Homo-oligomer: A and B are copies of this chain.
Amino acid sequence: MDAQPDRTDEAAFLAAYDPRAFPAIALTVDIVVLTLREGRLNVLLVERAAPPFRGCWALPGGFVKAGEEGLDEAAARELAEETGLSSGALRRVHLEQLGSYGAPERDPRMHVVSVAYLAFAPDLPDPRAGGDAARAVWTPVAGPHGGGTGDRDATGRELAFDHARILADALDRARAKLEYTPLATTFLAPEFTIPELRTVYEEIWGEKLHPGNFHRKVLSVPGFVESTGETAERGGSRGGPRARIYRAGDARLLHPALLRPDREEGVR
């Protein structure tokens, strides 16, 4: 990265450089943290303690510390602050960049561009309100395909800024990611059964899957899960044999993918 053609020129330029000469744009990260609580998909929301949108619900997030941290770092920091997780527990959370949102009028204060992140987490303890949030709560996401395509957002709450749009995009991304990655396992404990894994797919996709075919499919994809040799202590809550226990395999991509039951989209 440091093969700069004329160094003396460059050094002089940098010394004279005034960062404040640029019109200000502020940069935030906002995080869509998804988890399953009692089998239902939940998203972490905070109640804003300060204007704008004071009292509104919003995605957790905050300003990027200029000159100090990268985007992924800032997202990880905000995630830790808002969930109160130890760095050990955080290592089991999947965090990826979703996209950036920068319409000039999205924040009434000034031009604020938000880099949105998407996180998949196993069942976490109740969040503690941190910093600029009055409180933070897990909020169930509306049922099948409540992805905010109408004027109601996926939580039933009215979200600040353009966060309803970000949440809808996040749910789309999450549904797609389950198809071709093994990330469904990040919603579960390190050891899980195949029926538990199926409930993750069913809840996020919003449709029931065929148990037998799902079982065989998961076992047939190389590296998706690996057996522990153990068997669950108890059968299902309503009867049935005890399921075998698996852990996540070493695959990063599912091949062949686990496609959603035919959604007749594609045309429009």
Please give the residue numbers on chain A whose beta carbons come within 8 Å of chain B beta carbons, in ascending order. 1-7, 9-10, 13-14, 17, 19-20, 22-27, 48-56, 62-71, 74, 97, 99-104, 108-111, 113, 115, 131-132, 158, 161-162, 222-223, 250-255, 262, 265-268
Contact = CB atoms under 8 A, between A and B. Distances in A.
Contacts of A222: 266-267
A6 B54 contact: yes
Contact of A5 (B7, B54, B62): B54
B68 A223 contact: no
A4 B255 contact: no
Nearest to A27: B25
Given A5-B56, A108-B14, A267-B250, A71 B100 contact: yes
Interface residue SS majority, chain A: loop
Given A23-B67, A99-B97, A104-B70, A255 B251 contact: no
Contacts of A6: 54-55
Given A19-B24, A22-B63, A104-B70, A252 B223 contact: no
Contacts of A115: 100, 102, 113
B49 A5 contact: yes
Contact of A1 (B9, B62, B69): B62
A234 B65 CA distance: 61
Contact of A63 (B1, B5, B64): B1
Nearest to A249: B267
